[in-house]
Amino acid sequence: MFPAPVARASRLSRMGYRAALFLSLALWLLPLAGVALTSVRSIDDLTRGNLWGWPSETRLVENYAAVFSDSRMAQFILNSVLITLPAVAGAVALACMAGFALAKFRFRGNLLLFVIFIAGNLVPFQILMIPVRDIAIETGIYDTRWALILFHVAFQTGFCTLFMRNFIKQLPDAMLDAARIEGSSELGIFWHIVLPLVRPAIAAIAALTFTFVWNDYFWSLVLVQSDDVRPLTAGLQSLRGMWLASWNLISAGSIIAAIPPVLLFLLMQQHFIAGLTAGAESD
């Protein structure tokens, strides 16, 4: 193990390590803590300049209630959910299918397709922006949730396919051949054997994709414009113009926007990290 385990060191250095852990973590999350603290402050505190001290009065309920009553935050959250969940489901479903095909079938162009999926996922969004918006306008889905859902499914499928393909490739061929001899069709193998075995990979990729789509800002600016369909990230930025110096409300809004991905991350930590670091260990 590198560096040398602290557990074997003296009592003093163990305590020192713990203290250093605590301090560095506090420093690392300082900006976040400042925002969390501000989100429960009164506007009086802000104008008086009490930013780091304890709030003179805790306005947790009032501030967060104000965010929902003064703005269309509830609508933004609903929009984000209605965009993110179908997009994740779609991308994961398509990636499982495409991943199985690329991992377990030999055909000409297999590797080329794989490379295209990876490369397409690394392109800068700006090169897609104008044509994708035009497609959305011409097909009448511009400024609807469908524009964002379809685009995210298409784009995220690239990364998800890369991930699923590598995972499915590790399944032993002998197992699939055994099923073939039993008389199972290829689609039957996919449904009854491959899918149940790749559940952990599906969890990992779903958690990651959820975070990517939920946190997207660029496409929310490009593909929608009305508050009825705008997701949380774009909604939050538009509220900034309305609230100007009400940093306590903006902070509360930021915290609200951060909660779903953070919760998901905490619930699915192992899967999430496995997904993030897939490339780092498979070498």
Partner 1 sequence: MPHPPRAMDNASAPPGRGALSDWWWRNQRALTPFILLAPACLLFAVFVLYPIAASIRLSLHDWDGVGPQTWVGLANFAELFGDPVFYTALANNLCWLALYLLAPVFGLGLALFLNQDVRGIRVVRSLFLFPFVISQVVVGLIFAWFLNAEFGLLNRLLGSAGLPAVAPLESGRWAIFAVILAGLWPQTAYCMILYLTGLTGIRPELIESARMDGARGGRLLWHVVLPQLRPVTFIAAMVCVVGALRSFDLVAIMTAGGPYNSTMVLGYYMYEQTFLSLRYGYGAAIAAVLFALMGAFVGLFLWRLLRREAA
Which residues ranging from 187 to 246 are in contact with partner 1 (CB under 8 A)? 187, 190, 211, 214-215, 217-218, 221, 233, 236-237, 240, 245
| Ranges within 77-96 binding partner 1 (CB under 8 A) | 94-95
How many residues at the interface with partner 1, by CB under 8 A? 99
Closer Cβ to partner 1, 149 or 229, answer by number: 149
| Ranges within 37-76 binding partner 1 (CB under 8 A) | 38, 46, 49, 51-52
Alpha-helical (H) ranges within the chain are 11-28, 30-38, 43-48, 60-70, 73-104, 110-122, 126-138, 145-169, 173-181, 186-189, 195-197, 199-215, 218-223, 232-243, 247-267, 269-276, 278-281
Contact flag: residue 127 with partner 1 (CB under 8 A): yes
Selected from 39, 45, 251, 268, the binder of partner 1 by CB under 8 A is 251
Selected from 17, 19, 23, 60, the binder of partner 1 by CB under 8 A is 17
Contact flag: residue 248 with partner 1 (CB under 8 A): no
Selected from 87, 141, 148, 150, the binder of partner 1 by CB under 8 A is 150
Shortest Cβ 60–partner 1 spacing (Å): 19
Contact 209, 226 (CB under 8 A): no
Cis link prior to 196 (omega < 30° from 0)?
no
How far apart CA 12 and CA 86 sit, in angstroms, is 53
How far apart CA 7 and CA 4 sit, in angstroms, is 9
